[in-house]
């Protein structure tokens, strides 16, 4: 969570907690993109999978959710072609990582609001 701490530098003098706001933005955006990844996977639409993964990597790295960014990077670079069973495996670990990140971020959010 050191990245989150460094984000505090951008915290305005007045107004709500920027990190909490960024976490909320991230959780909404990431959930939307995860859904997009799954839908694209169902349609075997490789281009849309990569585009959603790319966006998710951007949000994740901005907030410092490193593991998530790494998996997204992997998905973005992988040529699935007809090897969609492999893709299913990668997507499942992506989903797991997102769940893990969400718990950590929610805990951090809670701690900050307390």
By CB under 8 A, name the binding residues for another protein: 3, 6-7, 9-12, 18, 21-22, 25-26, 28-29, 51, 54-55, 57-59, 61-64
Distances (CA, A) of 76 to 14, 49, 80, 90: 39, 8, 10, 11
The smaller minimum CB distance to another protein, of residues 41 and 60, is found at: 60
What does the alpha-carbon distance between residue 70 and residue 84 come to, in Å, rounded to a whole number? 20
C-beta closer to another protein: residue 62 or 78:
62
- Token pair 């997204």 is found at 72
Minimum CB–partner distance for residue 22 and another protein (Å) = 6
Shortest distance in whole angstroms from residue 57 CB to another protein? 6
φ/ψ of 43, rounded to 5, equals -90, 5
Please state the closest distance from residue 98 (CB atom) to another protein, in A.
Answer: 14
The pair of three-digit structure tokens given for residue 103, joined into one six-digit string: 């718990």
Tokens 């989150």, residue?
4
Q: How far is the CB of 85 from another protein (least distance, A)?
A: 28
């Amino acid at each position: 969570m050191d990245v989150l701490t460094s984000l505090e530098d951008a915290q305005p003098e007045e107004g709500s907690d920027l990190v909490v706001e960024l976490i909320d933005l991230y959780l909404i955006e990431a959930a939307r993109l995860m859904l997009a990844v799954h839908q694209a996977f169902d349609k075997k639409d490789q281009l849309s999978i990569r585009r959603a993964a790319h966006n998710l990597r951007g949000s994740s790295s901005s907030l410092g959710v490193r593991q998530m960014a790494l998996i997204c990077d992997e998905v973005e670079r992988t040529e699935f072609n007809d090897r969609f069973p492999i893709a299913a495996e990668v997507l499942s670990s992506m989903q797991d990582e997102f769940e893990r990140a969400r718990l950590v971020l929610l805990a951090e959010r809670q701690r900050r609001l307390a």
